[in-house]
Amino acid sequence: MAVQKPQSEGASLNNFWMPFTANRQYKAMPRLLVKAEGMYYTDVEGNSVLDSTAGLWCCNAGHSRPEITDAVSRQISQLDYAPTFQMGHPLPFELAERLAAMAPGELNRVFFTNSGSESGDTALKIALAYQRARGHANRTMFIGRELGYHGTGFGGISVGGMVNNRKAFNSQLLPSVAHLPHTLDIERNAFSKGLPEHGIEKADYLEHMIAQHGAENIAAVMVEPMSGSGGVVLPPVAI
Ligand SMILES: Cc1ncc(COP(=O)(O)O)c(C=O)c1O
């Protein structure tokens, strides 16, 4: 099958500054993907490439599914954008209602963002504003986890625990953050079948940290239920 060449082929690779990429090395030997269907990409040479991370976890339903492209196309042609400052349109309300019905317990308010980084920083801001609004303005500390990844905003980098992501910004990170130990326990959990057996006790360290820093000072605890960017580490079986 003939592969459509990217429109930009032949364009300079200099101007696009690629994130989390060794730019000089990549641009000396670029790998360009031009098409996707199901769980495969097609590269510029026409090779099929298995997308083993589901588009960095953004395309879990599969690439270019007709029902998704049809729905997106239908919506764009009907209403491509409407503000949600003081105005509104029905779909965010409908989606929020559906999400609230899926979420556990009293998690029934939805605030939409455009990326994981924005979500992380927004969640931290909501936690601070919430504590302040209920009269606990001294609850400003955040607890994160070593190797945690919450994106590239200042808040997410501060609460996250990926050392290389923090290095250049260390002097300006959030001032009051402590980190739980990471949950990788390779000695005991290597070659586990299904969820690993060991490690539930690592969650108990939170109690120690709360005792150490004082619950009255802590605004929020932020951890990934399943570690991703710091290494895909499954949580242990709950006991
Ligand atoms: C838990 C978590 N928070 C934040 C992010 C950052 O998301 P984005 O790249 O959309 O800013 C990620 C991305 O992998 C993530 O896994």
Give yes or no for residue 165 CB within 6 A of ligand 1: no
Paired strand residues for 43: 33
148 C-beta closer than 6 A to ligand 1: no
SS3 233: strand
Q: Which domains does the chain have, with CATH numbers?
A: 23-73 (no CATH), 115-221 (3.40.640.10)
* Exposure on the CB side of residue 219, measured as CA atoms within 13 A: 24
Residue type, 231: G
- pLDDT tens-digit map of 160-198: 999 999 999 999 999 999 999 998 899 999 999 989 999
* Amino acid sitting at position 214: G
190-219 pLDDT per residue, tens: 999 989 999 888 888 999 999 999 999 999
- Name the residue of 117, 147, 158 to mutate for ligand 1: max ligand atoms within 8 A of Cβ: 117
In the beta sheet, which residues pair with residue 50? 40
Nearest C-alpha neighbor of 131 from the set 16, 229, 30, 215 = 215
Positive or negative: CA dihedral 72, 78, 84, 85? positive
Neighbouring residues of 100: CB distance < 8 A, sequence distance ≥ 6: 107, 108, 109, 110
pLDDT-derived band at 1 (thresholds 50, 70, 90) equals very low
User: The whole model's pTM is what?
Assistant: 0.90
CB of 120 shorter than 6 A to ligand 1 = yes
